[in-house]
Amino acid sequence: MTTQEQAQVSPDEKLAEALSILAENADELKGLIELIVELKRSGVLDSVMLILNRFEELIQYLFQDPAVFRLLAIALDGSLGLMNKLDANDVIRLKEMMQNLGGCMSKNVDAVSNAKPVKGLMGLWRALGDEDVQRGLGVALELVKILGKCSSGKQ
């Protein structure tokens, strides 16, 4: 179609063509919209937008500190390998877990900074009577177990 022919196409014909293209690709568009809605619901889309909006600031900060840049490169390299092994639901659950854990920890900063030392075996014995300590030790031991499996190659 030449430029002159394109200029002669009416707005109604353009609309009909656009609707035809939408109808042909309805399933793909529906899937894309569902994915965007899920990313928005889970908070991933907001995180990506925050990173994109502050990208220049983040890059300037990273380039000012070579140690942070190297650490980020190592972490990113490792996390990309991990992300290839996870499906979308795993990533969403991992993100939610990290948000919940981070939020809970930030609400308890005073308790952590004012923690009293546990003295001796009797102090440890008393601490083990606390349900939260028991749960925390259970989580810590499970993490240690997973680290052991991962480091020995038993996955």
The C-alpha atoms of residue 47 and residue 89 are separated, in whole angstroms, by: 17
If asked whether residues 129 and 112 sit together in one domain, one would say no
38 and 88 share one domain: yes
What average pLDDT does range 147-152 have in this prediction? 78
pLDDT band at 131 (very low <50, low <70, confident <90, very high): very high
Domain membership of residue 152 as a residue range:
118-155
Is 113 in the same domain as 128?
no
Alpha-carbon distance 103 to 124, whole Å?
27
70 pLDDT higher than 60: yes
Same domain for 9 and 71, yes or no, is yes
The number of distinct structural domains making up the chain is 2
Q: Are 123 and 54 members of one domain?
A: no
Q: Are 124 and 144 part of one and the same domain?
A: yes
Domain match, 123 and 93 both: no
Query: Looking at the structure, do residues 69 and 113 belong to the same domain, yes or no?
Result: yes
Q: How confident is the model over 81-86, as a mean pLDDT?
A: 63
How far is the C-alpha of 45 from the C-alpha of 38, rounded, in Å? 9
Whether pLDDT at 80 is above 80? no
Same domain, 41 and 112: yes
- For the chain, give the percent of residues with pLDDT over 90: 1
In this structure, the answer to whether residues 127 and 141 fall within a common structural domain is yes
The tens digit of pLDDT for each residue in 3-56 reads 555 557 788 888 888 888 878 878 887 887 887 888 788 887 787 777 777 767
Rounded CA separation 47/79 (Å): 16
41 & 60 share domain: yes
